[in-house]
Amino acid sequence: MKVLVPVKRVIDYNVKVRVKADRSGVDLANVKMSMNPFDEIAVEEAIRMKEAETATEVIALSLGPTQSQETLRTALAMGADRAIHVVHDGDLEPLAVAKMIARIVAEESPDVVILGKQAIDDDANQTGQMLAGLLGWAQGTFVSKIEAANGSLKVVREVDGGLESVMLTLPAIITVDLRLNDPRYASLPNIMKARKKEIAKRTPEELGVDVTPHLKVVSVEEPPRRKSGIKVGSVGELVDKLQNDAGAI
């Protein structure tokens, strides 16, 4: 089974995001960037499938600026076999990303594409679903377990209030949730080896995809600051505050 794993370069999840003064977006200057955490989980799962001999090859794919190469090097150091970089400097919306992944799918013919359930920068949660729609493939979203089963994949989905198990006929799209696995750290020798692996370069033009945005960000706001809490001295005081100050009961 050949596995394609799209990985996005995003602001590191530990960084405290600052909104630009003109509210046009978030400040990316001198900010640490990393692989989208859900995509690390997707890479880890693909590598585990290879170790279990369910997968034969793992290809990492990133669409974005020159620096997305670093994200691909991380995927290679974790254990991906090779990487493809679609170089583009501006914003990329999920539909354009899904269309470009679909073109790479047509060239590479993977049996399964494993994506993150969402990229933590734009929180779109759209690319996997759009890709499944464009390709007409089976999809399992928010997946917390994957098992190979007689040429199909059985996946467990995290749904409201429980878990849902579904069988996916291949080829299929999977989007992964947080509880699927704990991604490994790449070892130093593997990081060194990954530096030498080749990354194939492509462009949106070559792939024939128009990446002109359909959306314009009107403004970005920080969430309102939470008011500080108070300590109450007794249950009676708590009930009084809830009744008379908060109007909650």
Q: How far is the CB of 75 from ligand AMP (least distance, A)?
A: 10
Mapping DSSP to helix (H, G, I), strand (E, B) and coil, where does residue 40 land? Answer: helix
Question: Token pair of 129, please?
Answer: 């679903």
Count residues contacting ligand AMP (CB under 6 A)? 22
Q: Is the dihedral of CA 28, 34, 36, 38 positive or negative?
A: negative
Distance (Å, whole) CA 106 – CA 6: 15
Q: How far is the CB of 55 from ligand AMP (least distance, A)?
A: 17
6 binds ligand AMP (CB under 6 A): yes
Q: For the purposes of burial, counting CB atoms within 10 Å of the CB of 154, is it exposed (0-12), middle (13-18) or buried (19 or more)?
A: middle
Sheet of 152-159: strands edge to edge? Answer: 162-169, 152-159, 138-149, 172-176, 112-116, 2-6, 57-64, 82-87, 199-202
Which residue has the closest beta carbon to ligand AMP? 116
Secondary structure element (H or E) that encloses residue 162, with its range = strand 162-169
Applying CB under 6 A, among 48, 87, 126, 133 the residue interacting with ligand AMP is 126
Nearer to ligand AMP, 38 or 137 (CB): 38
Contact 86, 203 (CB under 8 A): yes
178 binds ligand AMP (CB under 6 A): no
204 binds ligand AMP (CB under 6 A): no
Binding to ligand AMP (CB under 6 A) within 65-94 occurs at 92, 94
Q: How far is the CB of 92 from ligand AMP (least distance, A)?
A: 5
Tell me which stretch binds ligand AMP (CB under 6 A): 17-25, 57-65, 132-140, 199-207: 57-65
110 binds ligand AMP (CB under 6 A): no
Nearer to ligand AMP, 111 or 122 (CB): 122
Applying CB under 6 A, among 11, 55, 73, 116 the residue interacting with ligand AMP is 116
Residues recorded for the chain: 249
Distance (Å, whole) CA 138 – CA 21: 43
64 binds ligand AMP (CB under 6 A): yes
39 binds ligand AMP (CB under 6 A): yes
Which amino acid is residue 159, in one-letter code?
A: V
Question: Can you give the binding site for ligand AMP, defined by CB under 6 A?
Answer: 6-8, 36, 38-39, 62-64, 92, 94, 97, 115-116, 118-119, 122, 124-128
